[in-house]
Amino acid sequence: MDKYLEERKSVIQVAQTLSEGGFFGTRSGTGGNVSARCGAEGLVAVTPSGRPYQNLKPADICIVDLEGGQVAGELRPSIETGMHLSVYRTRPEVGAVLHTHQHYASVLSVIDEPIPPLFDEVSLHLGVQVDVVPYGPSGSPELAAHVADVVANGGNGFILQNHGALCLGKTLEEALTNVEMLEKAAKVYFHALCTGKEVTRLPRETLSMIEKMRKPPKNDG
């Protein structure tokens, strides 16, 4: 019996949803990657390298530990596994990581443009500002280190310079929602910039309220 079956099936479902929605840049390609924690075992289920998402089977999903050692699966884990693991090590509350090549976030990635606070719902879910992670070659320790540094800000949505986007969540479902919110904000911001007019931002009072709401509750135990 596959002890990781449910996690593997959930990773495939989200990967296929993203692929069919065009969030990986192409529907027939293998760009982008998906991962999720496996319970309390300190393990992560991650998509394999170079495999079309439409054809994935549960056994194709790789299981790795937080240092990158492969625990289960015959295929090679995604080239970006190190980047995913850097998030999990930095942010213990994160349960899922989605790396996409979605269109409008990618546009902002090539002009090195963070997304300012435009909408209260987006800022509440993703963070007051969507920051840009400095460039590092795909799959490199340099990129993983840059990601670890920037995600420490507590946000759930990020732009990867000259690369794409990264979204986090406590669950795969939450991370998927954050991908969609990021693309909405990126699309609106791009078109707003194209008008040449001033882009208005949320008032300081609203941002203060959002920052308080985003803070984790204090543990008095």
Annotated active-site residue 211? The verdict is no
Answer yes or no: are the C-beta atoms of 118 and 108 closer than 8 Å.
Answer: no
Q: In angstroms, rounded to a whole number, what is the distance separating the alpha carbons of residues 39 and 45?
A: 10
Answer yes or no: are the C-beta atoms of 22 and 165 closer than 8 Å.
Answer: no
Give the CA distances from residue 83 to residues 33, 137, 170, 186, 197, in Å, rounded to whole numbers and listed in that order: 10, 11, 17, 22, 37
Name the token pair of 124.
Answer: 């509440």
Helix (H, G, I), strand (E, B) or coil at 2: coil
Answer yes or no: are the C-beta atoms of 154 and 123 closer than 8 Å.
Answer: no
DSSP 8-state secondary structure symbol assigned to residue 52: -
Greatest alpha-carbon span in the chain: 59
Report which secondary-structure segment, H or E, holds 192: helix 172-195
Q: In angstroms, rounded to a whole number, what is the distance separating the alpha carbons of residues 169 and 130?
A: 15
Considering the candidates 6, 7, 41, 80, report the single residue annotated as catalytic: 80
Answer yes or no: are the C-beta atoms of 177 and 157 closer than 8 Å.
Answer: no
Active site residues: 80
